[in-house]
Each structure stands twice: as C-alpha cells, then as structure tokens.
Amino acid sequence: MIVNIEKCMHCGACVGSCPQNAVYLNEIVLEFNEDCNRCGRCVRICPVGALKMEGKR
Amino acid sequence: MRTDYDIIVVGAGPAGSMTAKHAARKGARVLMIEKRQEIGAPLRCAEGVNRRGLEKAGVPVDRRWVSTDISGAKLVSPGGHVFRIDESQAGNEVGMVLERHLFDKAMAADAARAGAEIWLKTAAVDVIKEGERVVGVKARREGEPLRLTAGCVVAADGFESQVARWAGIDTSLKAGDITTCFQYRMTNLRTEPDYCEFIIGSVAPGGYIWIFPKGDDTANVGIGVLASKLEKPGEVKRYLDDWIRKDERLSCGQPLEALAGGVSVSPPVERSVMDGLILVGDSARIIDPITGGGIANGLLAGMHAGNVLGDCAQAKDFSEEAMMPYDKLWRDAMEDRLWRNWMAKEKFLTLSDSTLDAVIETLSTANVDKMSVHNILIAIKERHPELVREFEELI
C-alpha cells in the first residue's frame, strides 16, 4: 500500500476498518504489516483519499 | 520505573479515563497510556452530547468544557423539508456541544486525582498472553520498547479497536457498519447559533451532514458516509465540500480546523471481557448506530468497568468470570437501544430521497418535544408504520 503522507490526517479510519487488523498508526506514520491481503477497503474508506494500492494508478 | 500494575488502560479518551478514575478510586494501581503527545488532540469528534448522558455517568457539567448549549435540533430532508424539535421545555434531555480538547483533559485529570498514572507518547503495539489469558501489553514509550504487565488490560483504544483483536476478540466490522467522516470547524457562518442540524439523503449516502454550533458564527460542519456506499478514494471530503459550496449559509465560511475519522454503526460486540482484558467505549462498538454519538455510552461503560475492576483488584481476580458483572451492567444500560437503532439504521439507508422527503414532511407536523432517536421513531411509527415494522417491538 502507498500512503500519501501529505494527505493522511492520521485519523485511524483505515486502522479500525481493516478486516485483517494489518494497519498500524502511531503519531506520525501509517504502517501495513504482512497480514495485509490488499483487499482495498482502506483505499475506499480513507476520507481524504490518501491511500492507494501499489501497481494501480 | 514501575512496569507492573493492577490495571493498564490503553487510550486516554473519555471511556479510558472514566475506567481509570473509578478503578483507582477503589484502590487499584492504575496506569493509563496514550499514544498521542496530548490528551484530547487531535480531535476526532463532532462534540455533541446530551445532559442526561453526562448525568448517568456521574459527570457534573463544568462550563470550562462546554462550548455551546443547544436549544433544539433540525432534521432536514433532501427536498428541504425541516423537522424542527424545540428543546426549550425538555429539561435534562437538552444537548450541548463540548470542547473535547478540554473535556478529555478534564476526564483524565479526574483519573489522575483518583490516583491513576498517565504516560503520554506511549503506544501499545501488542498484547502479552499466557495461554488464553492477557497479562500485559508490549508498548513503545517515546520510541523505547517495553513490556508492561497487569492483572487486566483495558482496551480503550477507540475506533481502531486493535487491542481487543490482538487478544483474540473479533471487533472487525463489515463495510455496511462503518461510517467514514470528515469535518471542518468553520467560522463566519450564517447558521443558527443554538440549533444542531442534520441533513439526510443522497448528499451523504447512508449517513448525514451535521452542523453543530460552536459559539457565535462558528460550527462543526461535518459529514459521515456509510463505507459500503463509497466508490472512489477521497469521496467523503468531496461530498462535504460540494454541500458547503451549495449551502449559502456555509459557503461564506472559512475553515479553522479539519479532521477525519471512522465511526462504527454496528451492533455491540458479542464479547466484552476475557481473562485479563476488558473492552470499553468505541472499541467495544457501542457507538449509537443512528446518531454516531459515542461519548455518553463510553463514559457510562467506563464508569461500570472501573467500578468492577476496582472490586477485581481488591479480590486479586481478573478472570472473565470475575469481570462479567461489567458485561451485564453495560448491556442492561444500552444493548437494546443499540440493537434497535442499528435496525433503524439498516432501514433508513434503504430509503430514497423522495421517501425521506415524505417522512420528514409528515414528521414536521408531529409534536416531538424531546430530541431523542426514540421519540422520533415513535412519531414515525404513528405516521409511517411500514418503515419500522421489522423492529416495532423495540420502539
């Protein structure tokens, strides 16, 4: 997953929505762990469009 | 540095602070950790709450954290019909809009005065288990990894709800039970300074646009859209920006703050306790599925959790069985209402703009003097019984 850090508002909407519990947010960075299965839910859910899947435009 | 406590609360929101306060009051050794550097910030809330909710949780109103007292609410249909609920005679049901930056700090201060320790910039990154029992958390404090052990870990980590899931309680949500939100605090508005406004219909699919006054010409102007209705990245913010451009009371305004967040609009968790772990607040999915409000339920659940945990600390027993009284207390207080409002939400999101227009138009002739979901559902039941047939026994 690619995070646009200039758009990300660190709101955690993707974290709580991730069915795999694969997203982690500390004060600054959003991290995806190996449990991420690229389902894409976080991409749609992000209120500001800060996430996209690698390999997709 | 001590690393062993009776109770470790993860997350210093209102539910966590209430839990910490009530447990510490009964003599438990309590540590509350918060990953942010400031409690109450950054904000992720529209800040509305009613007096009854605070009262039930034993939180006396302190003007220092009240932004604005509300006189009533307006429910606006897609075609512009307005259902106005005037609360001037409604006593303690009357709502208010908080200053969460200050409110959350005040709740945490109460926990501190009761004896709880608070660590900032301390994030839980996993739970520690022995067999099926939670015995602590792995954390990072200012970047340094450390192990914190406790008789009980309190999952008060909000919408993210990661602590419970690390421990093995499934709090994951389906897309139809998640609302994605974006909000501006705006100023120089021409909206009513003492009315909360809810705008429903296809302008905010499966959710609503809100205008919650924050004093004078300032308000929280936000939107929630159901995740299952979203198609493109970043749509939520665009829906709100589109509405603000069209509404001339808002288009003259300017933003002071922008925030975002996720809100669960689901039934509550099936399991809120296990050996060594207890869930409170948003992490237990106890947000009201119709209003999206979670403060009052979080405070009340936190109060019950803290009281039960205080007893558990005295008995040195944090087994699931010993903590079950908490599960019963919060379910007795809110579970029926949460299920009813979840069913109402499921029905609501199937309604077309024209049906919503018809409903709001007929409701506008109803005499509903108290602003509550229940009273609105009673009025709908009288006028549009077909809309509530599936759950009329809960109204």
Mean pLDDT of B2-26: 98
Q: Which residue of A has its CA nearest to B231?
A: A44
| Interface with chain B: mutation pick from A6, A30, A46, highest number of B CBs within 10 Å | A46
CB–CB contact A27 B121 (8 Å): yes
| Count of C-beta atoms within a 10 Å radius of residue B108 | 24
Mean pLDDT of B191-217: 96
Residue B280 confidence class, pLDDT cut points 50, 70, 90: very high
Residue B184 contacts A, CB cutoff 8 Å = no
Residue B174 confidence class, pLDDT cut points 50, 70, 90: very high
Residue of B123, B165, B173 with shortest CB distance to A17:
B173
Residue of A15, A19, A48 with shortest CB distance to B162:
A15
Mean pLDDT of A19-41: 91
Residue B121 confidence class, pLDDT cut points 50, 70, 90: very high
Of residues B364 and B79, the one with the higher pLDDT is B79
Please give the domain boundaries of chain A with CATH numbers for all domains: 2-52 (3.30.70.20)
Asked if residue B319 is part of any domain, the answer here is: yes
Residue type, B257: E
Residue A9 contacts B, CB cutoff 8 Å = yes
**Which long-range CB contacts under 8 A does B112-115 form with residues at least 24 apart?**
B114/B20, B114/B21, B114/B22, B114/B24, B114/B25, B115/B24, B115/B25, B115/B27, B115/B30
CATH code of the domain covering residue B138:
3.50.50.60
B358 burial via Cβ count (<10 Å: 0-12, 13-18, 19+): middle
The token pair at A51 is 């996430």
Asked if residue B198 is part of any domain, the answer here is: no
The pLDDT, as a whole number, for residue B15 is 98
The pLDDT, as a whole number, for residue A56 is 67
Beta-carbon contacts of residue B97 (< 8 Å; ≥ 6 apart): B47, B48, B49, B66, B67, B68, B70, B196, B212, B213, B214, B220
Beta-carbon contacts of residue B127 (< 8 Å; ≥ 6 apart): B134, B136, B137, B138, B153, B163, B166, B167, B277
Mean pLDDT of B220-233: 96
Range of the domain at B18: 4-58+99-173+267-343
CB–CB contact A27 B44 (8 Å): no
Residue A52 contacts B, CB cutoff 8 Å = yes
Residue B156 confidence class, pLDDT cut points 50, 70, 90: very high
Query: What confidence tens digit (pLDDT) does each residue in B293-346 have?
Result: 999 999 999 999 999 999 999 999 999 999 999 999 999 999 999 999 999 999
Asked if residue B108 is part of any domain, the answer here is: yes
Asked if residue B70 is part of any domain, the answer here is: no
Residue A16 contacts B, CB cutoff 8 Å = yes
ipTM for this model: 0.95
Q: How many domains does chain B have?
A: 1
Query: What confidence tens digit (pLDDT) does each residue in B131-148 have?
Result: 999 999 999 999 999 999
CB–CB contact A13 B181 (8 Å): yes
CB–CB contact A48 B259 (8 Å): no
Q: Return the percentage of chain B with pLDDT > 70, whole number.
A: 97
The pLDDT, as a whole number, for residue B35 is 95
Position A3 pLDDT exceeds 70:
yes
Strands (E), B169-310: 178-187, 195-200, 208-213, 219-226, 254-264, 273-274, 277-279
Looking at every residue in chain B, the average pLDDT score rounds to: 95
Residue A49 contacts B, CB cutoff 8 Å = yes
Min Cα separation A55/chain B (Å): 16
In angstroms, rounded to a whole number, what is the distance separating the alpha carbons of residues B65 and B75? 26
CB–CB contact B175 A41 (8 Å): yes
Asked if residue B271 is part of any domain, the answer here is: yes
Residue B159 contacts A, CB cutoff 8 Å = yes
